[in-house]
Structure 1
């Protein structure tokens, strides 16, 4: 804090007065700490990589996760999940950097090419959803990540069918789907989940059938 004096004539007289003016330095908030950066290498815990989850990332069940398409910025986060498998629901080839990441971490890729149709021209292939669901339910593939492009429709349908196996009521299945799809909610997706027949999966262990809502 500093002070300075200023002399000012009043009404043209020789009388002067001294005005003390205080100059207060602006108070700025303390700097925010940098984002937490973590990585694990051998027995050493190092601070050098940002843990950033993919778009729409969430835990579905024990060792089952969902998200949108992960990019290179998400690789450190995915490493922390110790994934064994990825279920990819788009028809486009997996990008080279992503394939290299999978190879370097011993992660198996299961691709089920479901087109990203928009209503009213939606044709969700039930056979591919069933095959993908078999992979998701096989504990030998866990921990596992399910993803499509945005983690909304194709991923939402697959997770919704899993919820039916877990005996969730349709209201709860739809609520979860809508939470991720938001304004992009599709009636056709919900209709597909409603009509999906889970009877062929009744042989599942009880651990998969115990999550009720």
Structure 2
């Protein structure tokens, strides 16, 4: 099945738009996906992003930085290791800082991504869902849908135990979906 989304830029030619893997709307102004590559740039451009929140540890590729610069998109990089038993844990303070960016409407619309858009992104979105008052059943159902086929119990435990009091809110800039 071809997942190409086609739009007309003008009447003389068409451009193919390819969303990154695991692309989805989280809530108004917040998207999630895997790591965007060059072929995804035309699609990303259509989102009119103000920022990207990346959870990768590695340096951001120069071609991506150039794309962000050309499109006035601010990069927030929060290096988060994968939550793999028994020795690697997601740092709670880093997730809190990333959430502080997400709950500031001046940064929206934004795209959250890690490498595959599954586990680290799923943890951040799960913690955002906690701020939105979702039930754990709904949060974990969404997490498992995107992390399939390898949901991590440690990720779900992290989401459940995350201290939401660590998130900083900027008065007057809280998105409607959080109020």
**CA-based RMSD:** 2.0
Instruction: Specify the alignment match of 2:13 in structure 1.
Output: 47
Q: Which of structures 1 and 2 has the bigger CA Rg?
A: 1
Say if 1:146 and 1:46 are closer, same or farther in 2 by CA, change over 3 A: farther
> Number of residue pairs matched?
173
Q: Which runs of 5+ in 2 are unaligned?
A: none
**CA–CA distance in structure 2, aligned partners of residues 160 and 72 of structure 1:** 28
Deviation of the 1:119 alpha carbon: 2.6
For the pair 1:155 / 2:128, whether they are aligned, the reply is no
Instruction: Specify the alignment match of 2:27 in structure 1.
Output: 61
Counting only pairs closer than 5 Å after superposition, residues 134-213 of structure 1 correspond to structure 2 as 134-201=100-167, 205=174, 207-209=176-178
Provide Cα deviations, 1:52-108, integer angstroms capped at 9, x if missing partner.
100100000001000000101100100110001000101101111111110110100
Of 145-154 and 119-128, more deviation after overlay is shown by: 119-128
Task: Please give the TM-score of this superposition, normalised by the length of structure 2.
Answer: 0.89
Q: Which runs of 5+ in 1 are unaligned?
A: 1-34
**CA–CA distance in structure 2, aligned partners of residues 147 and 37 of structure 1:** 23
Is the partner of 2:149 in helix, strand or coil? Answer: helix
Q: Post-superposition, which runs of at least 4 consecutive aligned residues in structure 1 deviate over 4 A?
A: 200-206
1:165–1:208 CA contact under 8 A, matched in 2? no
Higher-RCO chain (CA-CA 8 Å, sequence separation at least 6): 2
